[in-house]
Amino acid sequence: MSGDVAWCKQQKDRLDKRMEYMEKFCAAEPKVAKPDVVTVAAPSRNAPTSGPGSPGVQSSCVVPIRKKPQEFDGKVSWEAYRIQFEMLADQNDWDEGQRAIQLATSLKGPALE
Protein backbone atom coordinates (compact mmCIF):
# COMPACT_ATOMS: atom_id res chain seq x y z
CA MET A 1 0.00 0.00 0.00
CA SER A 2 2.93 2.38 0.61
CA GLY A 3 3.65 2.39 -3.14
CA ASP A 4 0.12 3.67 -3.78
CA VAL A 5 0.56 6.42 -1.19
CA ALA A 6 3.88 7.44 -2.72
CA TRP A 7 2.32 7.54 -6.19
CA CYS A 8 -0.56 9.72 -4.94
CA LYS A 9 1.90 12.08 -3.24
CA GLN A 10 3.93 12.29 -6.44
CA GLN A 11 0.78 13.14 -8.43
CA LYS A 12 -0.15 15.84 -5.89
CA ASP A 13 3.35 17.33 -6.07
CA ARG A 14 3.13 17.41 -9.88
CA LEU A 15 -0.24 19.16 -9.66
CA ASP A 16 1.10 21.72 -7.18
CA LYS A 17 4.02 22.52 -9.51
CA ARG A 18 1.73 22.87 -12.53
CA MET A 19 -0.65 25.12 -10.59
CA GLU A 20 2.23 27.33 -9.47
CA TYR A 21 3.48 27.57 -13.07
CA MET A 22 0.01 28.43 -14.39
CA GLU A 23 -0.53 31.10 -11.74
CA LYS A 24 2.79 32.73 -12.68
CA PHE A 25 2.03 32.41 -16.39
CA CYS A 26 -1.45 33.93 -16.06
CA ALA A 27 -0.11 36.79 -13.96
CA ALA A 28 2.60 37.52 -16.55
CA GLU A 29 0.36 37.08 -19.61
CA PRO A 30 -3.16 38.18 -18.58
CA LYS A 31 -4.28 38.96 -22.15
CA VAL A 32 -3.32 35.61 -23.67
CA ALA A 33 -6.41 33.49 -24.24
CA LYS A 34 -5.90 29.76 -24.22
CA PRO A 35 -8.59 27.57 -25.79
CA ASP A 36 -9.81 24.66 -23.68
CA VAL A 37 -10.58 22.53 -26.71
CA VAL A 38 -9.15 22.55 -30.20
CA THR A 39 -11.83 23.15 -32.80
CA VAL A 40 -11.53 22.17 -36.42
CA ALA A 41 -13.47 23.94 -39.11
CA ALA A 42 -15.23 21.44 -41.32
CA PRO A 43 -17.09 22.31 -44.50
CA SER A 44 -20.62 20.99 -44.71
CA ARG A 45 -21.10 18.54 -47.57
CA ASN A 46 -24.66 19.63 -48.38
CA ALA A 47 -24.35 23.35 -47.78
CA PRO A 48 -23.11 25.89 -50.30
CA THR A 49 -19.51 26.86 -49.78
CA SER A 50 -20.25 30.58 -49.79
CA GLY A 51 -23.10 32.97 -49.37
CA PRO A 52 -23.92 36.38 -47.95
CA GLY A 53 -21.95 36.86 -44.76
CA SER A 54 -20.45 33.40 -45.01
CA PRO A 55 -16.70 32.89 -44.95
CA GLY A 56 -17.05 29.68 -46.93
CA VAL A 57 -16.96 27.30 -43.99
CA GLN A 58 -20.38 26.23 -42.78
CA SER A 59 -19.64 24.61 -39.45
CA SER A 60 -16.98 23.74 -36.97
CA CYS A 61 -16.74 20.70 -34.80
CA VAL A 62 -14.69 19.58 -31.86
CA VAL A 63 -12.48 16.63 -32.68
CA PRO A 64 -11.41 15.09 -29.40
CA ILE A 65 -9.43 11.90 -29.50
CA ARG A 66 -10.23 10.63 -26.05
CA LYS A 67 -10.31 7.20 -24.51
CA LYS A 68 -11.62 6.25 -21.10
CA PRO A 69 -9.55 4.08 -18.80
CA GLN A 70 -10.59 0.50 -18.28
CA GLU A 71 -12.20 -0.37 -14.97
CA PHE A 72 -9.86 -1.51 -12.21
CA ASP A 73 -11.28 -4.10 -9.81
CA GLY A 74 -8.04 -5.39 -8.31
CA LYS A 75 -8.00 -8.62 -10.33
CA VAL A 76 -5.08 -7.43 -12.45
CA SER A 77 -1.75 -6.08 -11.25
CA TRP A 78 -2.01 -2.53 -9.88
CA GLU A 79 1.37 -1.67 -11.40
CA ALA A 80 0.30 -2.83 -14.88
CA TYR A 81 -2.97 -0.91 -14.59
CA ARG A 82 -1.21 2.23 -13.32
CA ILE A 83 1.25 2.22 -16.23
CA GLN A 84 -1.58 1.84 -18.74
CA PHE A 85 -3.57 4.56 -16.96
CA GLU A 86 -0.61 6.98 -17.07
CA MET A 87 -0.08 6.32 -20.78
CA LEU A 88 -3.74 7.02 -21.46
CA ALA A 89 -3.70 10.14 -19.28
CA ASP A 90 -0.68 11.47 -21.16
CA GLN A 91 -2.31 10.71 -24.53
CA ASN A 92 -5.49 12.53 -23.46
CA ASP A 93 -3.44 15.39 -21.99
CA TRP A 94 -5.29 15.20 -18.68
CA ASP A 95 -4.27 17.56 -15.92
CA GLU A 96 -3.90 16.26 -12.37
CA GLY A 97 -7.53 16.95 -11.50
CA GLN A 98 -8.77 15.05 -14.55
CA ARG A 99 -6.42 12.18 -13.73
CA ALA A 100 -7.79 11.98 -10.20
CA ILE A 101 -11.41 11.99 -11.40
CA GLN A 102 -10.78 9.38 -14.09
CA LEU A 103 -8.90 7.14 -11.67
CA ALA A 104 -11.54 7.46 -8.96
CA THR A 105 -14.36 6.66 -11.38
CA SER A 106 -12.54 3.66 -12.85
CA LEU A 107 -12.31 1.84 -9.50
CA LYS A 108 -14.84 -0.96 -9.09
CA GLY A 109 -15.58 -3.77 -6.66
CA PRO A 110 -12.84 -4.61 -4.15
CA ALA A 111 -10.57 -1.85 -5.48
CA LEU A 112 -13.21 0.72 -4.56
CA GLU A 113 -13.59 -0.46 -0.97
pLDDT string in tens for the chain (113-residue length):
577 778 777 887 887 777 676 666 666 655 544 444 444 444 444 444 445 554 544 455 555 557 889 999 999 899 999 999 999 999 999 999 999 999 999 999 988 88
Distance of CA 5 to the CA centre of its chain: 23
Can you give the pLDDT at residue 111? Answer: 87
Can you give the pLDDT at residue 101? Answer: 93
> Do residues 30 and 69 share a domain?
yes
Q: Helices (DSSP H) in 45-91: which residue ranges? A: 78-91
> Do residues 94 and 80 share a domain?
yes
Number of domains present in the structure of the chain = 2
> Do residues 106 and 74 share a domain?
yes
> Do residues 73 and 21 share a domain?
yes
Distance of CA 92 to the CA centre of its chain: 5
Can you give the pLDDT at residue 89? Answer: 93
* pTM of the predicted structure, to 2 decimals: 0.44
> Do residues 14 and 30 share a domain?
yes
> Do residues 88 and 78 share a domain?
yes
> How many C-beta atoms surround the C-beta of residue 112 within 10 A?
13
